[in-house]
Amino acid sequence: MLQTIRADTGAFGIEAIQKKYNLSLGEPHLSRFPLELLADLVRIKDVHRYYPSRGSETLRLSLLNKYYHDLNLENISVTHGAIGALDVILRSHCERGGDVEILLPDPGFPPYEKLAEFSKLKIKKYKINLAQNSETLIDWQQLGQQLSSQTQLVLINSPNNPTGRLFTEKDKLELNQLLQKNSQLHFIMDEVYRELIFGNAEHIELSEFLDRGYIVGSFSKMYPLQGARIGWVVTNPQSMKKLIPIFNNAYGAISSFGQELAQAMLDKDFDFSEPYHKARATVEKVLTKNQVPHMIPQGGFYYFLDFKTDDRLVVQKLQEQGVAVVPGSAFGAQGNNHIRICFAQKKSDLEESLEIIANGWHSFQPVNL
């Protein structure tokens, strides 16, 4: 049955559409939320009250124990999702208004640009390497050409949305050199997909560089807890002191119910990754069978397909056939002619929609006579 789906209109500019297959939204549909956790909430004393503005101490300690063993409570605050963390970080660097520059990835998550605009930061773009065999996520030579004495922030996302590419050890070396040469520069690592990494690839830790940066995480992608809006930020104590007044006045206390659900997720050590490995294998099988060239994502739950033609036209044609995807141009200039598909779908829907996409890809390719 066809249904009306609103696909992130603010981020991607896609109107409400009649579609059977929605591969546009970045939601983890494959992870079943453990409903029994909701029943457990009613047994928690004072769960209805305000929690500390920096978040539950228990949750902060649990996050440190899981991800950041060498850090302490001074280094971490719970936030209103990853977006809330990014918003507060950018606000803390906008003291000189439009003079402050931020480097954003191309292609990259569209709200990054909006958040930078809200803080009146001057936006510059650096290129993500789109070649499968590239040794780095980032084109460091091109990024270096964007730097100036006004550049305070470089935002990195790994696994990258929309490409699925990963920040590598070589990227880490390049970042370290960049920070040493540019004393005013700070990095932001958005690692909301860090639990969704495939094959032998590994997540690269940057906590040793926190004197010059921030790490942002979330329960919205790694866990089926997107509605709870629970994220976190990790940084050095001095930078955290600048963030706390903004947290307190812009967001106040973070949802107590959401924090307790997040705590339960960590306590029970849920692993939701297996369905995504299977879904990625399904995409790989269908695209390979249909001889559609593609870059294999190393993490996240997206494929970024190059149709070699106007992506807005591609999106329109696929919509007419009942498939909703996101135009690559929504992610930046390097996304032109691409589409992003979210493979966090049940297998039958994924297979059927991918056949439509594969046929569409071939229909847009030039015919050799």
Residues 135, 201 share a domain: yes
Q: What is the pLDDT of residue 367?
A: 59
Q: What is the pLDDT of residue 39?
A: 81
Residues 318, 232 share a domain: no
Single out the residue in 203, 236, 267 at which a domain terminates: 267
Q: What is the pLDDT of residue 333?
A: 98
Question: Which residues are paired to 323 by β-bridges?
Answer: 21
Q: What is the pLDDT of residue 9?
A: 41
Residues 152, 180 share a domain: yes
Print the domain residue range for 173: 49-267
Residues 311, 217 share a domain: no
Q: What is the pLDDT of residue 3?
A: 40
What's the whole-model pTM score?
0.92
Residues 241, 203 share a domain: yes
Single out the residue in 208, 234, 267 at which a domain terminates: 267
Looking up residue 321, the CATH number of its domain turns out to be 3.90.1150.10
Residues 197, 69 share a domain: yes
Residues 6+ apart with CB under 8 A from 101: 121, 122, 123, 124, 148, 150, 151, 152, 153
CB distance 104 to 155 below 8 Å: yes
Q: Note whether residue 88 is domain-resident.
A: yes
Residues 313, 199 share a domain: no
Q: What is the pLDDT of residue 34?
A: 78
- Residue 181: Cβ within 10 Å count: 10
Q: Note whether residue 12 is domain-resident.
A: yes
Residues 320, 213 share a domain: no
- Kindly state the DSSP code that residue 128 receives in the 8-state scheme: B
Residues 110, 9 share a domain: no
Per-residue pLDDT of the chain in tens (369 residues, 90 and over written 9): 334 333 344 444 444 445 689 999 888 777 777 778 888 887 888 888 989 999 999 999 999 999 999 999 999 999 999 999 999 999 999 876 568 999 999 999 999 999 999 999 999 999 999 998 999 999 999 999 999 999 999 999 999 999 999 999 999 999 999 999 999 999 999 999 999 999 999 999 999 999 999 999 999 998 888 888 999 999 999 999 999 999 999 998 899 999 999 999 999 888 888 999 999 999 999 999 999 999 999 999 999 999 999 999 999 999 999 999 999 999 999 999 999 999 999 999 999 999 999 999 999 987 554
CB distance 27 to 342 below 8 Å: yes
- Kindly state the DSSP code that residue 120 receives in the 8-state scheme: T
Of 168, 191, 171, nearest to 179 by C-alpha is 171
State the total domains in the chain: 2
Q: What is the pLDDT of residue 95?
A: 74
Q: What is the pLDDT of residue 6?
A: 38
